[in-house]
Amino acid sequence: MAHSIEITSIDNQIPLLRQTKKNEIEERRKVDRIIEIKETNGQDPLESQTKKSVINQIFDEMFEDLNNLSIKSCTIFKVYVGLRESNPDAYTPKMISIGPYYKKNPQLRPMEKYKLLYLQRFLQRKEGLDVESCFNELETLKKETIKCYNDIEDLCDDSQFLQMLLLDGCFVVEFIRETYCERGPEGEARIISDDRASYIFRDLMLLENQLPFFVVNNLHSMTKQVNESSLVILVNDLCTSYFGGMVKRTWASECNNVGNIKHLLHLLHIFSCTEINPKEKSNNFETTYKVMPNATELSEAGVSFAKVNGMTSLFDINFNNGFMKIPCFEVDDDTETILRNLIAYEQQSYDVQPKYFSDYAAFIDHLIDSEKDVNLLRQKGIIVNLTGDDKNVAGLFNKIGNGVTTYPDFYYNEEFRQAIEYSEKPWNRMKANLKHNYFSSPWVGASTVAAIILLILTTIQTILAFTGSVM
């Protein structure tokens, strides 16, 4: 019996002996490697190995963090410096912080009490709804929500993050409901007055001031009444009233899959980019490195400008046989902010093609160099200047293209090419000069014709007189 126990004990030690032998071999390899390192660089091998272990550990943790926060899942970006530096205010909220990026801005704290008022109204819409049940719902979205942002690790405390989602999300939902109903929902007093609503709506359309749409839409669905429109329809109507001709109501087919909507600014982008006439890709790039003349120079070269009549897309610019047709575009105090944020969204989103607003801004930047160009386009009804200063409009489009990247599939390649080719033909410029100098108005034209007739008659009279004297 004792002998049996001894044999069992030895058997149990065999794996341990094998592992010990394996460890000795591994240690011998490490020693050989240390000696090799020491011979190579003269450093102490143990110190070098320790440093190497620490470095590996640091980068392993960084790789793990990178895997947890997928770059492709980020949809709410911080605007990069190349775009921001020419006008930082265009990307910065003035009244309210939505989301984590401006949460700690002290200038925006006065609006926090309004968030509580809207939360209170939100909870009253459904019997039995309380903060805890909302927290539980948002908890299921927290992990996916965090992936939508960049560099917010210090704001990812569970309770604080969920509190932010609830307060900001309910504010967005209730503000849209209240603004959509103009005077507030039936039987309810307005929490925010009309004079401040436009400033807040402006802040809700900033790229850095967004919540993921699935968060906002989920909160809306929790308290949606039977006869209430979907959140997409409410936002569409509000964007139409705020941004006029830039936004179309024919959005249904583009918004059937609500899960694809990233945030409110993306929704505005969808509304603005519907019903766009597709363009055939041009393979002619010989004018890529040439600069298209501005509106005044094109006019002097014989190009005529006209406003596109009827309902059309903002991007439906067309050039044909010396005529450039451009849809009417209203410029007001918020135009630069909206355009810049839509451009920033396009520039920093890998999945947005074509980049309509980026290409539109680049094309108009070529067309407008000074207030003289703005004046020309305004007289043609193409630009409606609500700011009252053509110089400001020129400055807007001259700066808005800073930091914007255009690509070989530039949406206006063909218009760009044709405009350059037309302006380079001498005959077109001669006709334009003749028209400008001698037929600029009916009276000038009549005077020119009369002068030509008088010259012809005088010439005939001289020839006849000379012929008669010779005979």
- What would the pLDDT profile of 278-312 be if each residue is shown by its tens digit? 676 655 545 456 789 999 999 988 899 999 887 67
User: Does any domain span residue 286?
Assistant: no
* Secondary structure letter of residue 159 according to DSSP: H
Assess whether 418 and 454 both reside in one domain.
no
Question: Angle, to 10 degrees, between the axis of helix 194-204 and the axis of helix 231-243?
Answer: 110
Say whether the peptide bond before residue 408 is cis (omega within 30 degrees of 0). no
Query: Residue by residue, what is the 3-state secondary structure of 216-249?
Result: HHHHHHHCCCCCCCCHHHHHHHHHHHHHHHHCCC
Amino acid at 447: S
More confident site: 149 or 7: 149
Q: How far apart are CA 233 and CA 254, in angstroms?
A: 12
The pLDDT, as a whole number, for residue 441 is: 52
pLDDT of residue 466: 65
Residue 280 resides in a domain: no
124: Cα separation from own chain's centroid = 36
Percentage with pLDDT > 70 across the chain = 72
Q: How many domains does the chain have?
A: 4
β-strand 318-320 against 323-326: which pairing, if any?
antiparallel
The span from the CA of 72 to the CA of 50, in Å, is 35
Domain end: 42, 68, 94, which one?
A: 68
At 116-169, the pLDDT tens digits run: 999 999 999 999 999 999 999 999 999 999 999 987 766 667 789 999 999 999
Eight-class DSSP state of 189? -
31 occurs within a structural domain: yes
Q: Is the pLDDT of residue 409 over 70?
A: yes
**Over residues 307-324, mean pLDDT:** 87
Which structural domain, as residue segments, surrounds residue 446?
439-470
Task: Let me know whether 137 and 157 are in one domain.
Answer: yes
pLDDT surpasses 90 at 44: no
Name the band, by pLDDT with cuts 50, 70 and 90, for residue 276: confident
Q: Is residue 434 included in any domain, yes or no? A: no
Mean pLDDT of the chain: 80
* CA gap 44, 36 in Å, rounded: 11
Give 265-276 as a DSSP string. HHHHHHHHTSSP
Query: For residues 327 and 308, is the Cβ–Cβ distance under 8 A?
Result: yes
Q: How confident is the model at residue 406 (pLDDT cuts 50, 70, 90)?
A: confident
> Could you tell me if residue 381 is inside a domain?
yes
Residue 363 lies in a domain: yes
pLDDT digits (tens, 9 = 90+) for 184-232: 556 678 898 888 899 999 999 999 999 999 999 999 999 998 888 899 9
Q: With 70 as the cut, is the pLDDT of residue 440 above it?
A: no
- Are 147 and 58 in a shared domain? no
Q: What are the start-end ranges of the E strands in 90-189?
A: none
Alpha-carbon distance of 326 to 365, in angstroms, equals 14
Q: Is residue 163 domain-shared with residue 212, that is, in the same domain?
A: yes
Do 322 and 219 belong together in one domain?
A: no
Answer whether 98's CB lies under 8 Å from 170's CB: no
Burial 413-442 (b: 16+ CB within 10 A, else e): bbbbbbbbebbeeeebbeebeeeeeeeeee
> Which pLDDT does position 353 carry in this prediction?
87
CB 223 within 8 A of CB 126: yes
- Which among 34, 68, 102 is the end of a domain? 68
pLDDT of residue 35: 47
Residue 175 has a pLDDT of 95
On whether the CB atoms of residues 347 and 404 are closer than 8 A, the answer is yes
Considering the domain architecture, whether residues 134 and 179 belong to the same structural domain is answered as yes
How big is the chain, counted in residues? 471
How far apart are alpha carbons 359 and 411 in whole angstroms?
Answer: 6
Cβ neighbours of 49 (radius 10 Å): 15
Q: Which of 68, 89, 122 is the last residue of a domain?
A: 68
The DSSP secondary-structure symbol of 325 reads: E
98 shares its domain with 17: no
140 and 206 housed in the same domain? yes
Q: Are residues 199 and 340 in the same domain?
A: no
User: 223 with 93, same domain?
Assistant: yes
Q: Classify residue 287: in a domain, yes or no.
A: no
Question: Higher pLDDT residue, 325 or 42?
Answer: 325
pLDDT surpassing 70 at residue 385 = yes
> Any idea which of 11-25, 44-58, 187-201, 316-330 has the lowest mean pLDDT?
11-25
Does pLDDT of 112 surpass 60? Answer: yes
State whether 15 and 106 are in the same domain: no
Q: Which amino acid is at 290?
A: K
Indicate whether 251 and 114 sit together in one domain. yes
Residue 285 lies in a domain: no
Min mean pLDDT across 57-71, 73-87, 145-159, 436-450 is at 436-450
3-state secondary structure of 95: coil
Per-residue model confidence (pLDDT) at position 64: 65
- Name residue, tokens 């001669």: 430
pLDDT for res 187: 63
| pTM value > 0.85 | no
3-state secondary structure of 112: helix
Among 62-76, 269-283, 366-380, top mean pLDDT goes to: 366-380
